[in-house]
Structure formats: C-alpha cells, structure tokens
Amino acid sequence: MSCSKLHTSFHSKVWGSEKLAPWFDDTVEKTGEVWFDPPADVPLLIKFLFTTENLSVQVHPADDYARTHHNGSNGKTEMWYILRTEPGAKIALGLREAVTAEKLREASLSGEIMDLLNWIEVQPGDMYFAPAGTVHAIGAGIALLEIQQISDITYRLYDYGRDRELHLERGVEVSHSDVHRHQDLSQCPYFRTTVIEVSGAATIEAPRTPSILICVQGRGTVDKQAYRAGEAWLLDQSSVAVEAETGSRFLLTYVPTR
C-alpha cells in the first residue's frame, strides 16, 4: 500500500459543538477538536475544530522562545482552512494598529483588546496563516481544519471573563505588536499546503517527503481504499491514484525539505 489512514481522537470542549457532520458523526456532548494521530516522521498535528462560542484571545511562541522557556519544545505556527460558517462568523488575526507592549497588556486586562484585533468575516474555502507570535482568536459558529507544528504552548491574553488562567507576561513578550500583514503560506518553513479538487480518476502527485492527504469533501477510493470526508491519509510515495465517486476536495500538506 502507498498510503495509510490516520487514526482520530475526539476532544470535548465547552465551546465545542454536537454537530460534526458531514465529516464525523454528530455527538451527544460538545466536541471541540478531532485530532489525527501524527506519524512519527511528520512533525505536524492536524485537527478539525468546531466552535459554538468564541475561543480565547491567545498567542503562541516561536521556536527559539519555546525551546528556551519550555524545555526544548517547538513553537507553534499554524494555518486554518475554513469548512463551514454560520452567518457573520469571524476570526481575529493579528492587530489592526501597532501598539506598545504595555498597551497590549492593559488592553488584555480591560477587554479593549477586542477592539484592537483584526477581525475577519470568514467563508468556507478561506485559508489563513497564523505564524507564531500572531495574536489571534477563533469566533463562534465555525468548523475549520487546522494544520500546526506539534506544540501545546498557548498563552491566553483575554478570555471573556471566564475563570481560566491568563498568561499576560509571556503572552505580551512573544506577541507581534505591529499591524498584521498577510504572509505567503508557501514560504512557511514548517509546512506547505495545497488544495486539490478531484472529479473522477486522477493521480495526486506529492513531494518526495512524507505527506498527508486530508479529505474535506466527497468520497471515493485512494490507492484502492475507500475514503470519505473527515479522513487523513499518510502518503508513503510520490504519487497516489484517486477515484472520486463524488466531487472531492483534499488538502495536501507536507514538511518542506530544508
């Protein structure tokens, strides 16, 4: 076989949703994240996220800071592919104006940070890149696919008055406090991601490094094995045959050769 399906694990969150279809079966409790077990040779974590409430305003450190302050851990650069939205659903990506570190800290304490954030109304098919150091938040009413470095280091700056710990000192220290500017995903040193549409028979070409193929729409066979939306496959060679029974959309992601 030239590919193998990755196993999933489901994680309940107070801000999650019971409505996971068509990617997964609906649940009786709120599921916020569905993780794909990362292969040992691919240092990426892939998740589906489902939100019914706003997530905290947060930031992740870059590699050098994480390794110094968290016992050699990785930083966390990530990207999001929007799958489903309710009307008016938004994400926050970076700041809309430059601020000082002290201003960012004060705004986090007062809640004014909500007005400083660069809010974007999102639609299915949108793709966003959040380099480490980008202050960000995911709003309610969104289903998305997240691809990230393997790291769980998160600094909360604001949490809507919920009774959870904030991490203002370190969060402010690692935050990019200038105006957010769009960055080209293809220049990310941690992963490359492309969207692939398939109708009927096709051959998907992958780089000669371990790659992961994620189906976000459709069904059919990959390497003669049945696939459906909500599955991810590790590709073990540079090309794989796909037969799409219905129009299918995939994300192909891999770690670039340095």
Asked whether 5 and 231 are in contact (CB, 8 A), the reply is yes
Chain centroid offset of residue 205 CA: 23
Cα–Cα distance measured from residue 184 to residue 167, given in angstroms and rounded to the nearest whole number:
29
Question: Got the DSSP string for 196-241?
Answer: EEEEEEEEEE--SS-EEEEEEE-EEEETTEEEETTEEEEE-SSEEE
Asked whether 94 and 81 are in contact (CB, 8 A), the reply is no
**Burial class of residue 12, CB neighbours in 10 A (0-12, 13-18, 19+):** exposed
Structure tokens at 80: 């999001």
Please confirm, yes or no, whether 156 is among the known catalytic residues: yes
Out of 156, 164, 181, 258, the active site residue is 156
Instruction: Decide: helix, strand or coil at residue 79.
Output: strand
Which residues does the annotation mark as catalytic?
Answer: 156
